[in-house]
Structure 1
Amino acid sequence: MSSRPPNFTFKLVLLGDGRVGKTSLVLRYVNNVFSEKQEATVQASYLTKRVVAGGVPITLSIWDTAGQERFHALGPIYYRDADAALLVYDITDSDTFVRVKKWVKELQQMASKDIAMAIAANKSDLVRSKKYDTQEAESYATSIGAKLFVTSAKFGTGIDEVFHEIATRLLQKKKDSTEGLLPVPPRKGIIIVDDEPEQKPPPRCCS
C-alpha cells in the first residue's frame, strides 16, 4: 500500500478596511457564492479550503477579520501566528490602499518574520468602464516581496490565482525549511571519525 503524501495546514489571515470585500472574496473562493448584501464581519470568521499545490494536498485555514476600526486591536490575535496574510483593498477607493500599507507595517513589526503576503485589488467589476492604475500598488507589492492580484468577488476573477499563489509559496517555504533540517553531506577535507570502539584496549601501566 503506497504511503499518502503529508497534508500540510497553513493559517491565512485576511486584512483590510471594512467593506473592501474580504468576506466576499473568501466566500467566493471557498463556497463559490456571492451576495450583493454581505453583512459586515464582526471580529472574525473562519473557513477552511483544501487545495492541491505542486501535487501536494494543502489545507488553508482562512481567518476573515473585521475591517472596522473598533475591531483593530483584535488583529494581532489572528495574524501573530499566521503563515500568510492577504491584504485587500477596494480598487475604487485609494484610502483603502493607504490602509493596506499600515497593515503591512504592523505585520512587519508584530507578525512572524516568515509571513507570506499578497495584495488583492478587489472590486475590479466596478471600474470595467474606465481604466484603473495599479502601477503604484504593483511596485509597492514588489517592495514588500508580495504580488498584486486584481480581483472581483462578484465575477470570481483573480481569486483562485491569488489563493493558489499563497498556497504555492507556503509549500515552497515548508520544503525549504524541511530541507534545511536534513543532514548536510560532508565537504572534502573533513575527517570522518569512526564511532566504533577500538578492538584492542590500550595496555595498562604499572600493574
Structure 2
Amino acid sequence: MVGKTSLMNQYVNRKFSNQYKATIGADFLTKEVQFEDRLFTLQIWDTAGQERFQSLGVAFYRGADCCVLVYDVNVMKSFENLNNWREEFLIQASPSDPENFPFVVLGNKIDVDGGNSRVVSEKKAKAWCASKGNIPYFETSAKEGFNVDDAFQCIAKNALKNEPEEEIYLPDTIDVAGGGRQQRSTGCEC
C-alpha cells in the first residue's frame, strides 16, 4: 500500500483517510483543471497494486496519456518494483512512442515517523528517474497534502503535451494511468 488512493483523494477531494481498502481492479476520479486558458477534465485512474488484483487493472492502461508510478519512501521493495511497473505498463498499454511516453514518479509517505523510517533517499530516486529519460519526480505526503497539487499539475501538463491540437475540445478529458498499474487516465501505482 503505497498510497495511490490516498493521493487521488487528497488531490481531488482534499481529504485523507487511513481507512482505504486495497483497490480491486481499478477506480477513477475526475477533476477539472485549467491549463493554458483551457478547461480540462482530468480523469485519474487508480489501479490495483496488490499482486492478486493486478491483472484486473491492465485493461485500463491502453489509451492513457500519462502514467504515474508511486512508491513508498519507507519501503525499499516498492521502489525496486518501479522498473517492473514501468515495463509492464509499456507492454500492456503499447503506446505508439514508448521511448517518449510520459511518466511521473511520486515518492509518497515522506511524513511517516518524521522521515526517520525512510529507506529510499531522494538522491537515489532522482538517479533512477534520470536513468529512465529524466522522468519528473516529486516527494509527497498524501496525509499532509504536501506537494500533491504540484505533482498533479506536472502530471496534467505531461498528459496534455502529446495531445494533437485537433483533438482538443472544451471541456477535454485526459486520461492518466496510475502508478503500480497505469491506464489511459492518470493513475497512480507502484
Q: Give the TM-score of the pair, scaled to structure 1.
A: 0.71
Matched, 1:178 2:160: no
Supply the distance in 2 between the matched residues of 1:154 and 1:117 (Cα, whole angstroms): 23
Q: Which runs of 5+ in 1 are unaligned?
A: 1-18, 180-207
The alignment covers a number of residue pairs equal to 159
Kindly provide the amino acid, as one letter, of the partner of residue 33 in structure 1.
Answer: K
Q: How does 1:78-97 map to 2 (within 5 A)?
A: 78-97=60-79
Aligned to 1:47: 29
The answer to whether the Cα contact below 8 Å between 1:43 and 1:74 also exists between their aligned partners in 2 is yes
Aligned partner of 1:104 in structure 2 is: 86
- Runs of at least 4 residues of structure 1 off by over 6 A? none
* TM, length-normalised to structure 2: 0.77
Residue in 2 that maps onto 1:118: 104
**Aligned match of 2:121:** 133
Q: Following the alignment from structure 1 to structure 2, what is the Cα–Cα distance between the partners of residues 31 and 60?
A: 13
1:91 partner amino acid? V
| Selected match of 1:60 from 29, 42, 50 | 42
Report the 3-state secondary structure (helix = DSSP H, G, I; strand = E; otherwise coil) of the residue aligned with 1:38.
coil
Q: CA deviation at 1:127?
A: 4.6
> What's the counterpart of residue 181 of structure 2?
none
Q: Over the residues paired in the alignment, what is the CA RMSD in angstroms?
A: 1.8
Say if 1:51 and 1:45 are closer, same or farther in 2 by CA, change over 3 A. same
What secondary structure, in the 3-state scheme, does the structure 1 residue paired with 2:111 have? Answer: helix
Larger radius of gyration: 1
Match of 2:59 in 1: 77
In structure 2, the gaps of 5 or more residues are 167-190
Which residue identity is paired with 1:134? E
3-state SS of 2:33 partner: strand
Question: Take 2:15 and 2:127, find their aligned partners in 1: how far apart are those partners?
Answer: 32
Equivalence map 1:138-177=2 (5 Å) = 138-145=126-133, 146-174=135-163, 177=164
CA contact (8 A) 2:24 2:56 kept: no
- 1:132-157 CA deviation, whole Å, 9 max, x = no partner? 61212112112323111000000001
CA distance, structure 2, for counterparts of residue 55 and residue 173 of structure 1: 17
The alignment-based identity, stated in percent, is: 39
